[in-house]
Amino acid sequence: MVRALITDPVDEYIVNELSKNGITVDYKPGINRDELMSIIKDYEVLVVRSRTKVTREVIDAASRLRVIARAGVGLDNIDVEYARSKGIEVLNAPEGSTQSVAELVIGLMVAAARLVALQDRLVKGGEWPKGKYVGTELFGKVLGVVGFGRIGQRVAELARAIGMKVQAYDIVDLRDKATKLGVDFVDFEILIRSSDFITIHVTLTPSARHMIGEREFQMMKDGVIIINTSRGEVIDTKALLKALNDGKVAAVALDVLENEPPKEPWEVELVRHPRVIVTPHIGAETREAQRRIAEILVDKIIKYLRTNNLI
- Residue pLDDT tens, the chain, 311 long: 999 999 999 999 999 999 999 999 999 999 999 999 999 999 999 999 989 999 999 999 999 999 999 999 889 899 999 999 999 999 999 999 999 999 999 999 999 999 999 999 999 999 999 999 999 999 999 999 999 999 999 999 999 999 999 999 999 999 999 999 999 999 999 999 999 999 999 998 899 999 999 999 999 999 999 999 999 999 999 999 999 999 999 999 999 999 999 999 999 999 999 999 999 999 999 999 999 999 999 999 999 999 999 99
User: Three-state DSSP class for 234?
Assistant: helix
d(CA 241, CA 267): 8
d(CA 251, CA 113): 7
Query: Architecture of domain 98-278 in CATH?
Result: 3-Layer(aba) Sandwich (3.40)
0.75 exceeded by the pTM? yes
Using an 8 Å Cβ cutoff, are 252 and 229 in contact? Answer: no
Question: Mind telling me the catalytic residues?
Answer: 231, 260, 281
Q: Do domains 3-95+288-307 and 98-278 have the same CATH topology?
A: yes
pLDDT tens per residue across span 177-216: 999 999 999 999 999 999 999 999 999 889 999 999 999 9
In the chain, what are the domain boundaries?
Answer: 3-95+288-307, 98-278
253: enclosing H helix or E strand: strand 249-254
Name the pairing type of β-strands 184-185 and 197-200. unpaired
Q: What is the CATH number of domain 3-95+288-307?
A: 3.40.50.720
